[in-house]
Amino acid sequence: MATISDIANKANVSRSLVSRVLNNRSGVSPENRKKILAAIKEYNYKPNALARALSNQKTQTIGVVMDDLCDKFVFDLIKGMQDTSEKLGYNIIFCSGRANNEVKFRYVDYFMQGRTDGMIAFGSRLSDGDVFKEMIEQPNPFVLIEGYIPDHEFNNIQLDNVGGAYKATKHLLELGRKKIWHVTGDLHFNVSLDRREGFLTAMRDAHADINETNIVCADFEEELAYKRISALLRDNKVPDACFAGADKPAYGVIRALYENGLRVPEDVAIIGFDDDRPDTFDMLFPRLTTMRQPLYEMGKAGVETLVRSIENPDWGPTRVVFEPELIIGQTCP
Amino acid sequence: MATISDIANKANVSRSLVSRVLNNRSGVSPENRKKILAAIKEYNYKPNALARALSNQKTQTIGVVMDDLCDKFVFDLIKGMQDTSEKLGYNIIFCSGRANNEVKFRYVDYFMQGRTDGMIAFGSRLSDGDVFKEMIEQPNPFVLIEGYIPDHEFNNIQLDNVGGAYKATKHLLELGRKKIWHVTGDLHFNVSLDRREGFLTAMRDAHADINETNIVCADFEEELAYKRISALLRDNKVPDACFAGADKPAYGVIRALYENGLRVPEDVAIIGFDDDRPDTFDMLFPRLTTMRQPLYEMGKAGVETLVRSIENPDWGPTRVVFEPELIIGQTCP
DNA sequence: TTGTAAGCGTTATCAC
DNA sequence: GTGATAACGCTTACAA
C-alpha cells in the first residue's frame, strides 16, 4: 500500500505538501499540486483512515449495535439512521449481537475503542442492562434507543409503551367491549412488561372486570399465540376483544378465532402493536388495527442526538419520548 | 480518554510493560503486572484500537457492503457471515449503499482505507460494475458474492442461476406442461438475466413451443406480477405452468390465477426461485415449489474465502459456485 | 525483568 | 510556498 511518503518522494516534495493537497488546503504552488495529484493517481493512493483518525481524533463514523440485524421490524429504524447520518456527514456501520450478550459486549467495546465517534444501541432485553451499564461507565458519546437503565441520565430515545397500550385498551373499552384478553410479547423485553402494565392500568381505570381477562404470553410469535389462544377457546372461554403486545401474535390470535368460527371484528375486536405488516398477502386479510411505532423518526432522533453529543460535548443528556399512534384497520368494529 | 502512558505513569513503569500486560505476554514481574492491572481498572482504560491497528497493520475486522441491508431475503446470508467470522475470530461490520451507487462507492472506499482487513460486497445490479471495478484496482483482499465482472479473476461466490432456472423449467416440462410462462425479476440485476437465459435454454433444448410462451418482467414485486399476469389472463391467454424468477412475483402470479378461477397446481403449475417465504400466514397458502438458494452457506463461503486471502496472500483467486436445490412444495402436481 | 527508541501513516505547528 | 518536527496511541526490537 502506498503511503503519503511514497507520494511525497515521487513528487519530490515534503509530506506536508501532500497532506495539504489531500485536504484541499491552500498553500501549494500549482506546479507542485499538479505533480502531487499525478503521483496520487499513478499509485492509486488512498490515505489511511486509521492514521488520519488517530491524528485528528475524529473518525466521522457512527457505530450501531442492534439486538438483531435480521429482523424486518427494524428496517425503518435502520433507514432513519442511515438517511440522517448521511445528511449530517457521518458514515454509519452496523453490527448485531445476535441476541447474545457476550457478542453484544464485544461489539460495544469494539466501537468504543476509538473506532467511532459515538455509538447507538438498540434493544430492550432485560439482560441488556449489563451491556448498557458498561456504556454508561465510559466516556464516549452514546444513545440508547428503546433500552433504558433506571436511575441514570443519558441520551435516550423511547416509545411510550405504557401510554400506547393504555390507549389501545381504552379504544377497545370505548367500543363497548368488556371481556378483553391480552397477549403479551416476550416478557424478557421491557417493552412487553410496559405494554402489559398499560393494559392493566387501562382496565383498572375503567373498572373493567378483570375476572374475565386472560393474559397469555406469546414471545412475539404468531404460532405460539395461535396455540395458546386455541387452548383457551377449547375451554369454552371466549373474549369479545383482544389487545396483542405485537402484531405477529395478533395474527396468530386471528387465525385461532377463525378456526373456532368466530368473526373479526364482529365477535372479537383485535388491536395489535408495532404496525409490523406481513410482507405478502396483505390483501387477503383484514388490515390489522394497531399502534404504530414511528421507527423511522426514532432512528432519525437517535442519530441527531448522538451527533449533537459528539459535536457539542456540553449538551446534557437528552431524552425523547415518542407516542405510538392508533392506526385504524379492519379488526375493530 | 486514558492512554497507555497514563497507565504507565500511574503504575510507575514504562509503556512497554503495560503493552505486554495488555497483550498477555510474559516478561512482567508479578508485582508490576498487579500494579498495571490495578491502574487499568482504576482508569477504566481501553486500548485505542486505531493506534493498535496502525501499529499491527491488522484490524481483525471484515467489512460488508450490502446492496440493501433492509431486505429480509439477505438474512440468511448475513447470519452465515456473522457465524463464520465469529468462529474465525474476526469482527464483522455491515453497511449498505441503499441501492445508491454513490453511497456504495463511498463505503467501499471507507472499508478499503485501512479500516478493515478485507471486505465483502453483495449484489448483482448491472450498475454495480463500476463499484466492483474500483475494488479490483486496489490491493486489499475482497470477495464478491453474487456480483461478477467479466474477464477478471477474483474471489467470487456465485449461485448457478442459469443452471437453476434450467432445472426449474425442465421440471415443469417433465410434468408434461407445455405452455410455460416466465416472470422475470428486475432486469437491472444479473441474476434476472441469468435466470431468463436458463429458462430459454431449457425451452429450446426441449423443443418446446416458444410461441405459447409469455415473458413478463415483474421487478421482484408481488404486485407488479399480479398486474401483468392479470392483464394477460384478461386477454384470454392461459398458461399451464409458470416459472417465476423470484418467489415474491410467484405469489402475485398465484393471486392473479386464483382471481381468474384457475387452480394451482391443477390448472397451472408454479415454480419460484429463492425460497423466500412470506413471514406470516404460511399456513393459508400452498407451499411454493421453488429453487432454494443456499444463502447461509454462501455467506459462510464468502467469509472463509476472504479470511484465507487475508491470512495467506499467496492463495490465488477462488471461485465457488453453489447449485440451487429444487424444493418440492404444493404448487406443482 | 525493564526501559529506550523507532515505527505505523497521518496532521499540524512553526520556522524558513 | 515549503519542509522539518512533534504528535496521535500503540507495538516491538534491542539494549541495559
**Domain residue ranges in chain B:** 4-47, 60-159+295-323, 161-293
Domain B4-47: which topology?
434 Repressor (Amino-terminal Domain) (1.10.260)
Single out the residue of B183, B186, B193, B122 nearest to residue B158, CA to CA. Answer: B122
What's the sign of the alpha-carbon dihedral A220, A225, A226, A228? positive
Contact across the interface for A110 and B92, Cβ inside 8 Å: no
Pick the CATH number of B161-293 from 3.40.50.1100, 2.40.10.10, 3.30.9.30, 3.40.50.2300: 3.40.50.2300
Averaged pLDDT for residues A70-81: 95
Are domains B4-47 and B161-293 of this chain identical in fold? no
Nucleotides of D under 7 A from a protein CB: 1-5, 7-13
Closest residue (CA) to C1' of nucleotide C7 is: B55
pLDDT for the residue numbered B10? 95
Closest-CA distance of chain B to residue A274, Å: 15
In terms of phi and psi (left: phi > 0; alpha: psi -120 to 50; beta: otherwise), the region of B274 is: left
- Tell me the nt nearest to A53, Cα to C1': C10
Collect all residues of chain A within an 8 Å Cβ-Cβ radius of residue B44: 137-138
Predicted confidence band of residue A300 (pLDDT cuts 50, 70, 90):
very high
Checking if the pLDDT of A3 tops 60, the result is yes
Chunk chain B into consecutive blocks of 10 residues (it has 333) and report each block's average pLDDT, rounded to whole numbers: 95 96 94 96 95 97 96 95 97 93 93 96 90 88 93 95 98 96 96 97 93 90 93 93 95 92 95 85 73 98 98 94 96 93
Please tell me if residue B93 touches chain A, with a CB cutoff of 8 Å.
Answer: yes
CB-based contacts of A281: which residues, under 8 Å, 6+ apart?
A: B251, B278, B281, B284, B285
- pLDDT-based confidence at A121, cuts 50/70/90? very high
Q: In the structure, how far is the CA atom of residue B278 from the C1' atom of nucleotide D9, in angstroms? A: 50
The 10s digit of each residue's pLDDT in A45-70 is 999 999 999 999 999 999 999 999 99
DSSP H helical segments within B260-294, as ranges? none
Distance B200 CA to D2 C1' (A): 67
Cβ atoms of A269 and A172 closer than 8 Å: yes
Longest dimension (CA), chain A: 90
The answer to whether A257 faces chain B, any CB pair under 8 Å, is no
Question: Closest protein residue to D13 using CA and C1' atoms?
Answer: B16
Measured from Cα to the C1' atom, the residue closest to C6 is: B55
B163 touches chain A (CB under 8 A): no
* pLDDT over threshold 60, residue A226: yes
What is the pLDDT at residue B256?
93
A56 at B interface, C-beta within 8 A: no
Q: Is B73 strand, coil or helix?
A: helix
**Residue A1 predicted with pLDDT over 90:** no
Whose cell is 465517534? That residue is A117
- Overall fold of domain B60-159+295-323: Rossmann fold (3.40.50)
Protein residues closer than 7 Å by CB to strand C: A 1, 3-5, 15-16, 18-19, 22-23, 45-48, 51-52, 54-56; B 12-17, 26-29, 31-32, 51, 54-55, 57, 114
Q: What is the pLDDT of residue B18?
A: 97
In order of A222, A306, B311, the CA distances from A316 in angstroms are: 42, 11, 45
How many angstroms separate the Cα of B268 from the Cα of each of A119, B12, B264?
52, 81, 5
User: Cβ separation of B48 and A106 shorter than 8 Å?
Assistant: no
**What share of chain A has pLDDT > 70, as a percent?**
98
- Measure in Å the smallest separation between the Cα of A285 and chain B Cα atoms: 10
Q: What is the pLDDT of residue A150?
A: 86
Burial state string for A112-131 with b = 16 or more CB within 10 A and e = fewer than 16: bbbbbbbbbbbbbbeebbeb
Residue ranges in chain B assigned as alpha helix (H): 4-11, 15-22, 30-43, 49-56, 75-88, 101-112, 128-136, 161-174, 190-205, 222-234, 247-259, 295-311
Task: State the DSSP H helix or E strand holding residue A196, giving kind and residue range, or none if neither.
Answer: helix A190-205
Please tell me the distance from the alpha carbon of residue B49 to that of residue B243, in angstroms, as a whole number: 51
Nearest to B303, CA basis, from B92, B70, B6, B51: B92
CA–C1' B34–D16 (A): 24
From the alpha carbon of B20, which nucleotide's C1' atom is closest?
A: D11
What is d(CA A117, CA A57) in angstroms, rounded to the nearest whole number? 9
Q: How many CB atoms lie within 10 A of CB A95?
A: 24
Does A95 contact B at CB distance below 8 Å? yes
